[in-house]
Structure 1
């Protein structure tokens, strides 16, 4: 059976590449610290030595729109073109081509269906920055095949936080049951409190610093009960109009299981809190400690 070797949950800030590669005199003051933290976080994936990446993100109305918007979708292609024109223009993100793993995509699609998750699928999926950003930050060589999964965090009605957690558990089971000796890492990106286009955009901190601090502590402790008791669609909306990206963090905790995180870091980047969290499976974490 396949082995899950690491679960990563992080924010996906589209300006990271441009902010840390432009001439030093033009960089924001936080750029050197941002680059340092990302490079340290990258080591948590490298240390796990994965063969395949299962990647969870959310399309920003680039390919999926209101005329046909699935709650959950899996890519089933040999390769995936990535980066849309506005992402090149606004964020300086270059075009990418990601290799797919069709065998694992097909297996996971059927396995998730059998577990009660009626996934949509695409044989012609194009990837946006929710998946390209973690390629840039934690796997810049882009040398591993991917199984992309998209979730709906933008277009109500949205699945519940519990549904996202349960999907994470189902993804974990599908990985564990996959008949292969491959080492699999799961990487998902979302947001903490975030405001896009609203009155709380581009403030000195994220729109709800208290939620950000509490969310990181819940994830650090693997406290899914506290998350499900306190996080609703209504509370996330109060924390910022794009805070529903936290649903993908809940999903990744489902993949990891209700366990304490092995690596937690964050960076207050004026208008948003960046977060970097890694869980290793318990047996692997105990082996590393020994």
Structure 2
């Protein structure tokens, strides 16, 4: 049986790499050093899980899906994935990648989700954009693990309900747990807190709704799905910013983790948006397990001495 070693939910900011790595230190934004330090600390929570396969949840930013045919839920099923589009390189100076896929696990995930009532689209020609590449840069920049990409519609209404996203997360968890392989699987999903794209509240001193951001982080961190389902609607999200429905992908990640308290939570208030980093360990915190093992070994050494 597969071992779900970690679930990570994060925002995705396409300027991170440019702001912290490509810009000379004397020209960097005031928060750059803190931002980089927070990302490096977050990366450690992922590395500690020692995954073999990544299930990655994101959304296409109208790079290959449009209003004429935007799939509600889609899974990639191919041996390799070309990543980052020309405009992302041009505007954000994002690196290009070629990610390894895992066709067998993608096929198993597709069938398992169909069996559980989720009618997925499937692509053998999927190209990956920054909703998945940003988490690769922040958590696994060497990009050396196979990925199973899952795309959701958070942009082109009508959208599935928050409950549907949460239920999809629960179904993904069931399929991962049922996978007959012995690999360690990590699930990483990225979305938004309050965010305005192209609207009058874009590029403000903070995100468009800082109070909503803090409340949303608390809901996720405490696993309070009841409060999320009671308070989060399409109307309430777009009131906080026209791109805030990206929060639905973070609800999906809570579904994979289960209504549990997160092991790691951090955030950073940035110009234009608030960044968030959250990790759950469904089978126990590997950092605590390693510390306990070290303490036990030291105790045995002391006794033998």
Pairwise same-fold verdict (TM > 0.5)? yes
Matched, 1:213 2:210: no
The superposition leaves residues 23-76 of structure 1 with CA deviations (integer Å, 9 ceiling, x where unpaired) of 011111110000000000000010000000000000000011112111000000
Matched, 1:120 2:102: no
5+ long unaligned stretches in structure 1: none
TM-score by length of 2: 0.93
RMSD value over aligned CA atoms? Answer: 1.1
The superposition leaves residues 229-250 of structure 1 with CA deviations (integer Å, 9 ceiling, x where unpaired) of 1100100010000000000000
Match of 2:133 in 1: 132
Match of 1:20 in 2: 20
- Matched residue SS, 2:158: coil
Distance 1:10 1:249 in 2: 7
Distance 2:82 2:151 in 1: 15
5+ long unaligned stretches in structure 2: 293-305
Q: CA deviation at 1:284?
A: 4.5
- Matched residue SS, 1:126: coil
Distance 2:60 2:291 in 1: 38
Q: CA deviation at 1:283?
A: 3.8
The superposition leaves residues 257-279 of structure 1 with CA deviations (integer Å, 9 ceiling, x where unpaired) of 00000000000002100000000
Write out the 4+ residue segments of structure 1 that deviate beyond 2 Å after TM superposition: 282-290
Matched, 1:36 2:37: yes
Distance 2:31 2:4 in 1: 34
Match of 1:227 in 2: 228
Aligned residues: 290
> What does 1:188-203 align with in structure 2 at a 5 Å threshold?
188-203=189-204
Q: CA deviation at 1:179?
A: 0.8
> What does 1:139-288 align with in structure 2 at a 5 Å threshold?
139-284=140-285, 287=289
Distance 2:86 2:97 in 1: 12
Distance 2:5 2:245 in 1: 27
Q: CA deviation at 1:136?
A: 0.5
